[in-house]
Chain A
Amino acid sequence: SAELTQESSLSVALGQTVSITCQGGTLRDYFTSWYQQRPGQAPVLVMYGTKRRPSGIPDRFSGASVGGIVSLTITAAQVEDEAEYFCSSPDKSGNSVLFGGGTKLTVL
Chain B
Amino acid sequence: QVQLEESGGGFVKPGGSLRLACVASGLVFRESYMAWVRQSAGRGPECISYISGNGEDIYYRESVKGRFTISRDNTNDSVFLEGSDLTVEDTAIYYCATVKWEGGVSFHSWGQGTVVNVSS
B-binding residues in A (CB < 8 A): 30-33, 35, 41-45, 48-50, 54, 86, 88-90, 95-97, 99-102
Contacts and interface: CB of A to CB of B under 8 A. Distances in A.
B44 A96 contact: no
A11 to B, nearest CB: 20
A31 B95 contact: no
A33 B61 contact: no
Interface of B: 43-47, 59, 61, 95, 100, 102-113
Contacts, number: 65
A99 B44 contact: yes
B106 to A, nearest CB: 4
Contacts of B107: 33, 35, 43, 45, 88
A45 B110 CA distance: 9
A100 B44 CA distance: 7
B63 to A, nearest CB: 11
A72 to B, nearest CB: 13
A43 B59 contact: no
B105 A97 contact: yes
Given A42-B113, A48-B100, A96 B106 contact: no
A32 B103 CA distance: 9
A43 B113 CA distance: 10
